[in-house]
Amino acid sequence: MVEINPVAGSTLRHNAQQLFHAASPVILTQDVRTVSFEHLGHIDIVTGGPPCQPFSLGGKGLAHNDKRDMFPAAVSVIRQTQPSCFVLENVKGLLRESFATYFSYIILRLTYPEVTLKEDESWLEHLARLEQLKTSGYQSGLTYRVVWRLVNAADYGVPQRRERVFIVGFRSDLDLSFSFPEPTHCKEALLCEQEKGGSYWERYNLRPPQDWVRSKVSAAVRERIHAQGLRPWCTVRDVLSDLPEPSASACLLFSGHVYQPGARSYPGHTGSVLDLPAKTIKAGAHGVPGGENMLDLGGGKYRYLTVREAARLQTFPDSYSFAGTWSDCMKQIGNAVPVRLAQTILTAVSETLAQGTDCNKVSSV
């Protein structure tokens, strides 16, 4: 594992020791571009999340002109390790119309990782060369079958509306077919539960808020929910209701569950209501660009999420702890892929990979 942020590296090391003990993985705290991945032996899966800032709606949108664009580094790792497959994740902003050409370039570079950028070649010239190879049916050397999809974490049981792009590639010589797992949860199923007299309110012995917006769900949609076995979106209340009020004593039972003062509402920063999935947990502590990491408790009351609450909204287990200050922790949590979503997609990837290997153990970097 490679993580450039030293505080996040400390978090990874601590939790790896708890999970793996003597078999703890190697965790390097350095720039991934300075690491050699050659001669590692057989690698099944490479996973990574190139920094989102070059493509985020909250950033400057510099894409390839941003020094934090690490997709070229991801291609380099794949070229060196030649894994059976890879899984990369990034923000929805990657799909913006202004980035369409560069996104096509990313996909083609991942398809042909050995066709490298020449010293005197611009990325647009490199793109043109890759397009020619693609349309000619070129299959020589290391190539991958690459697919991508925009998914909403809430559709997979995560208590958070978080849209992210996943890019998955399988080495062409394995001749494997893959499709993304279908959603298991939906908004309409939650609306059905939250109708007047619905089971959601009964479960928590509550009356629906007077200003609650009640959307009607058609019979056809209800039938589809039943036929597909779709479950309701998971709400903030669903995952936080068993936690006590944040305090120093509560922190003894739930790591990081300490009150953080100073929360207030203003345009663009209104917090997450309890009876819907949370807004996207972002990699920051304060302000709109930093993240809306705040709860709307109703009646004009607000407070910041504790570290443990934010971690639960990202579906980390309570046993997983974070190093650093509250701001450090919120940055790490906001940068993470929701655990349940990662598990869902990587399970599908591993099951596909198992179709083409007799190995019982999957190795990864």
On whether the CB atoms of residues 130 and 136 are closer than 8 A, the answer is no
Strand ranges of the sheet holding 45-48, from the earlier edge strand across to the other edge? 45-48, 85-91, 163-171, 144-152
Helix (H, G, I), strand (E, B) or coil at 71: helix
On whether the CB atoms of residues 50 and 69 are closer than 8 A, the answer is yes
Joined tokens for residue 1:
């594992």
| C-alpha atoms less than 13 angstroms from C-alpha of 336 in its C-beta half-sphere | 27
* Cα dist from 50 to 5, 32, 124, 349, whole Å: 13, 10, 21, 19
* 267 class by beta-carbon count within 10 Å (0-12 exposed, 13-18 middle, 19+ buried): exposed
Strands 231-232 and 185-186: parallel
Helix (H, G, I), strand (E, B) or coil at 363: coil
Within 10 angstroms of residue 244's Cβ, the number of other Cβ atoms is 11
Domains of the chain: 6-182+339-354 (3.40.50.150), 185-229 (no CATH)
State the greatest distance between any 2 C-alpha atoms of the chain, in Å, as a whole number.
68
DSSP structure class, residue 209: P
The pLDDT profile of the chain, 365 residues, written as one tens digit per residue, is 999 999 999 999 999 988 887 677 889 999 999 999 988 889 999 999 887 676 665 555 555 656 668 899 999 999 999 999 999 999 898 888 888 999 999 999 999 999 999 999 999 999 999 999 999 998 889 999 999 999 999 999 999 999 999 999 999 999 999 999 999 999 999 999 998 778 999 999 998 877 776 678 899 999 999 999 999 999 999 999 999 999 888 888 899 999 988 898 888 788 999 999 999 998 865 555 555 789 999 889 999 999 999 999 999 999 999 999 999 999 999 999 999 999 999 999 999 999 876 444 444 44
Give me the pLDDT at residue 285, please.
Answer: 59
3-class SS letters over 107-175? HHHHHCCCCCCCCCCCHHHHHHHHHHHHHHCCCCCCCEEEEEEEEEHHHHCCCECCEEEEEEEEEHHHC
Across 149-178, b (16+ Cβ under 10 Å) vs e yields: eebbbbbbbbbbbbebbbbbbbbeebebeb
* pTM score, whole prediction: 0.91
Residue type, 64: H
Nearest to 257 by CA among 302, 316, 318: 318
Joined tokens for residue 235:
């709400």
Give me the pLDDT at residue 361, please.
Answer: 44
What is the C-alpha separation between 129 and 122, in angstroms, rounded? 11
Sequence-distant (6+) residues with CB within 8 A of 102 are 63, 64, 123
Nearest to 165 by CA among 66, 254, 252, 96: 96
Helix (H, G, I), strand (E, B) or coil at 185: strand
Nearest to 135 by CA among 102, 157, 108: 108
What is the C-alpha separation between 355 and 168, in angstroms, rounded? 16
* Residue that is written with structure tokens 């502590």 in the block: 285
CA 307 to chain centroid, in Å, comes to 18
DSSP structure class, residue 177: -
